[in-house]
Chains A and B, each alone.
Chain A
Amino acid sequence: DTEVTQTPKHLVMGMTNKKSLKCEQHMGHRAMYWYKQKAKKPPELMFVYSYEKLSINESVPSRFSPECPNSSLLNLHLHALQPEDSALYLCASSLGTGTYEQYFGPGTRLTVT
């Protein structure tokens, strides 16, 4: 199984809502990532988890809150988002944070109204 799954596929939320994005992998990978991809732009790294611990936070606003409940799951909790946060949110995983390729999920397309 070389698949990273993400739910939901699409999400529309208001600026006062609280929602969560979910990501799951069963490849035994110990590193998991959140990326943000705006239209016609490359993915930009947001967070890195290594062995369920947050290793990197790329100066992401606190309205985005990541969580790694176990080695297979990664969540991104959203609260009080702005319209400019509308984007495709990608999850990825890799064997570790060293020289390994990353496997990407299909993403959640988020629209903030």
Chain B
Amino acid sequence: SQTIHQWPATLVQPVGSPLSLECTVEGTSNPNLYWYRQAAGRGLQLLFYSVGIGQISSEVPQNLSASRPQDRQFILSSKKLLLSDSGFYLCACKLTTVNSPLHFGNGTRLTVT
């Protein structure tokens, strides 16, 4: 079964600094990969999803970008963090077969100060 590694677990960054969150997947190939954000007191919001290497779909306009340089690697980045980027970021993966379950990483709690 798939295992998702997401790091770091917590991160405190000043406004204007860059960001790089990494997510890697083991135990599968060619998964669909997702980045979600959960702001304080709010539900999960889809930020990006990818159905293959180099294929990124963005769901909301924002200060963030995503890349998928390898099949099982998904990176969330920002050149300059904003206070509003604070939140809990979750990586998830899903096989492309119909009715395959969704698996989540343990998340990264980002605080922008």
Partners in one complex: no
Binding site for A on B (CB under 8 A): none
Binding site for B on A (CB under 8 A): none
